[in-house]
Amino acid sequence: MRKSKTIRIGGREITVKELRVKDIRAILEDAGADGPPAFIDLLFPDSLGGRAVQISTGLSAETLDEDFTPSQLEALLAAVDDVNPHFAAMAERLAALGRAASATSTPPSAAS
């Protein structure tokens, strides 16, 4: 059964749903897309990200940018993490792999 949690932020009730595997796959595919990052991703770079919040809550990027304060977004991100512990753990493992790869790579100028 898909987990969900209803939270109240700024007088608004928001249902946060567990992401499906196809949602997680879409988020990972979108991560490599060109274009500017979502503002929520700039505010909270170590979070699951704005796209995960959008899919999990049904809220648009515009709504997240225009209607929520940073502290409200932080509470919303915590709820998304709470109902998506497997995705959160996977995202942390991927981030650790990326950090390890960056630490062991040779800068192009030093390769010559």
Which residues in the chain land under pLDDT 50? none
pTM assigned to the model:
0.80
How many Cβ atoms are within 10 Å of 17's Cβ, its own excluded?
Answer: 17
Q: N- to C-terminal Cα distance for the chain?
A: 55
Position 107 scores a pLDDT of: 64
3-state secondary structure of 33: coil
The rounded distance, in Å, linking the Cα atoms of 102 and 31 is 18
Position 8 scores a pLDDT of: 96
Q: Where are the alpha helices (DSSP H) in 13-84?
A: 21-31, 39-43, 50-57, 61-67, 70-83
Q: How many residues does the chain have?
A: 112
Position 12 scores a pLDDT of: 94
Q: Which residue has the tokens 């192009």?
A: 108
Position 112 scores a pLDDT of: 53
The rounded distance, in Å, linking the Cα atoms of 36 and 80 is 23
